[in-house]
Amino acid sequence: MTPMIKLNQQKAFFSGFLILMFFSFTGLSAQTPDGMQIRKIWDGAQHSAFTDLLYFKGAFYCSFREGSGHIPGTDGTVRILRSADGRSWTSVADIRKEGIDLRDPKLSITPKGRIMVIMGGSIYRNRKIEGRKPQVSFSDGKGGNFSAPEEVKIDPSIVSWGDWLWRVTWHKGTGYTIDYQIGPEERKGPTAMYLLKTKDGKKFEKVSKIDLDGFPNEATVRFAPDGKMHVMIRRETADQMGVWAVSEAPYTDWKYSKMNIRLGGPNFIFTPGGKIIAGTRVYTPGIYTALFTGTPEGNFKELVSFPSSGDNSYPGLVIHDDRLWVSYYSSHEGKSSVYIAEIPMKSLEPKL
């Protein structure tokens, strides 16, 4: 069948509902930053997960997957919400494709001034996965009218049964992403990881191979103020600790540092002053979503813990109007839902 995309103006649920009282769910000891507010912005599906956040032309955009459960999911679709103030949210897109479970939608702004949504595309038959084909969708120049998802084209020298382009970051007119490749047996292999680049968001070329053990997968690419590429990489076997990778142009030689934390749904940004703010799932002493700060040598410390537990994490991060805005999902209230945290930067800066 022809791929479909549905647009609507359905109002987000609980747009102004503050949930600071739910910190008791986590039992965490991290201090609450002065002025922090947290709101539930969506719980309109059985399972809402894997968020990202972007600020574009005067509005916030929050993307996430909707489905019947975490995995497997033959019915995964992508919801995109928009808000002018970060408090009241409206649905602007419901992206879907027949026969494809769309997963982990990540947002970026292309050099042509459109929102790009890169998505994992899992193919199931009778609840058994048969392959992965990443998908991409684009907005118009105003941030609306998202296109029907189309399969991306990956360098034929490395394209595999199970490609997953997890997040695209643009730098000097070129988009960079990590392709983590997984075989039908998941952690049993075969696995591989590559840095790719693109000019149009549709065709991706190999730049270099990332050589890591421990089943490396989810990875976020960012650029420091000095132009160096930094990559935060999740590992799920061996010691399970995250890895921080750094490279200079042309991004073919890598320096790896073992992190002192385990990752789940990793994301990070650089502040205007060059400090690192990272978000991820925490696994011990409890399972929850938190912010960290750290160094490229892999030493990280917790800054903020959010009300969260169970199935949770995958934060989106935006600095706007002297505030850090964080999207994430959590099931600590029973149903997996999407939340937004708003934190004044002045309350974080002494800890960075």
Q: Where are the domains of the chain?
A: 4-351
Cα 149 to the center of its chain, rounded Å: 18
The model carries a pTM of: 0.91
pLDDT at 25 over 60: no
Among 15-19, 139-143, 247-251, 263-267, the minimum mean pLDDT is found in 15-19
Taking the CA of residue 118 as centre, how many other CA atoms within 13 Å lie in the half-sphere pointing to its CB? 28
CA dist list (Å): 247 to 26, 29, 229, 235: 37, 36, 5, 19
The pLDDT of residue 124? 83
What is the rounded CA–CA span in Å between residue 81 and residue 289?
Answer: 21
| Number of other residues whose CB lies within 10 A of the CB of residue 351 | 14
Question: Quick one: 274 exposed, middle or buried, by C-beta within 10 A (0-12, 13-18, 19+)?
Answer: exposed
Categorize the per-residue pLDDT at 129 as very low, low, confident or very high, splitting at 50, 70 and 90.
Answer: confident
pLDDT at 32 over 90: no
The pLDDT of residue 181? 96
Q: 203-209 and 153-154: which strand pairing?
A: parallel
Average pLDDT, the chain: 90
The pLDDT of residue 252? 98
Q: What is the pLDDT of residues 255-268, one digit of tens each?
A: 999 999 999 999 99
What is the rounded CA–CA span in Å between residue 324 and residue 149?
Answer: 30
Which single residue is written with the structure tokens 């890169």?
118
What is the rounded CA–CA span in Å between residue 308 and residue 27?
Answer: 10
Q: Residue 351: phi, psi to the nearest 5?
A: -95, -10
- Class for domain 4-351, per CATH? mainly beta
Strand, coil or helix: what is 254?
coil
Q: What is the pLDDT of residues 56-77, one digit of tens each?
A: 999 999 999 999 877 765 679 9
The pLDDT of residue 21? 37
The pLDDT of residue 188? 78
What is the rounded CA–CA span in Å between residue 192 and residue 195?
Answer: 11
What is the rounded CA–CA span in Å between residue 56 and residue 59?
Answer: 5
Mean pLDDT for the stretch of residues 328-342: 96
Cα 154 to the center of its chain, rounded Å: 20
Mean pLDDT for the stretch of residues 159-173: 96
pLDDT at 128 over 50: yes
Q: Are 8 and 47 in contact (CB under 8 A)?
A: no
Q: What is the pLDDT of residues 273-326, one digit of tens each?
A: 999 999 999 999 999 999 999 999 999 999 999 999 999 999 999 999 999 999
